[in-house]
Each structure stands twice: as structure tokens, then as C-alpha cells.
Copies of this chain bind each other. A is one copy, B any other.
Amino acid sequence: MAVDGEKAKGNFWIKEVISVKTQRHTELIDITAAVNQLIRKNGVKEGIAWLFVPHTTAGIFINEAADPTVCRDIEATLERLVPWKGGYQHLEGNAAAHIKAVLTGASQWVPVEDGRVKLGTWQGIFFCEFDGPRFREVWLRLLASAVD
């Protein structure tokens, strides 16, 4: 399904959903390839992509995708700053996950060029599970300025 040229001229946003099945309680998952797959599927050549996380105990950020120890350090530092057990008022027991979600953020924007996300050399897009394992979604919206 490719965008037709007429639609690409207006404020037409392509809507897709990325499903993420998390495996651990805290998990940072590189979703860059999934985003690129949906850009290709929709025939978007150039534009922008917006990723929105509709959850309150999950976040999203853009950072180093080459060395997985960076994600380990991000996880550990967030846990040190916002420990799981912290005398919180919220009775569900996952207040720390909500706070980590606020610190990382609910959405990210990325440029699209040549039919894929245009990131810096070392960057990837990471979905952040802070209270898993769960079935999660990331809502993707693409605004095309050029199509195949």
C-alpha cells in the first residue's frame, strides 16, 4: 500500500501501529527496523515520522544502538535514580515505572529520507518497557513530503 501523490500534498498522516511484546520487567528495545519496514510498506520516500507511546509505564528515546552496554547503563541509572521500591503512594506498586516514563518521554520524532529514518550514525529508536513483561503498542504516524 503506497501513498498516492495527491494525498501526500495535504496534511495526510499515514497511521500504523507497532506491536511490541516485551519479555522482561525493564527492557529497552530497538524498534528502528520496525519503523523502517513501515516506511517502506507505505512507499514514503521523504518526510517525518512520529512515534507515540500510548502507555503510562513505558517510554521512548533515541540513543546509541551500536553497543548494548549503553542501554544497560541507562536502565541501571534510571533504576538508581528512581528505585522500584521507594515509599511511593501509588498502590499498584509501579510508581517508579510511571516516573521513568515521564523522564524518557511519550513520543519521538525522526526525519525520513531515502525511504528510511535518517538518524545519526550511532542512533537507534528505543521503546522502553518499565513494567513488563506486557503487550505494548507504539503508534506511528508518517507525514510524507515525497513518495515512491
Output the least CB separation between A62 and chain B (Å): 4
A99 to B90, CA, bound (A): 24
Interface size class of A (residues with CB under 8 A): 35 or more
A143 to B110, CA, bound (A): 15
A106 to B98, CA, bound (A): 19
Instruction: Say which residue of B55, B74, B88, B111 sits within 8 Å of A120 (CB atoms).
Output: B55
Output the least CB separation between A116 and chain B (Å): 14
A-side interface residues toward B, CB under 8 Å?
Answer: 8-13, 47-48, 50, 52-56, 61-64, 67, 69-70, 72-74, 76-77, 81-82, 86, 88-92, 95, 98-99, 101-111, 119-123, 139, 141, 143-145
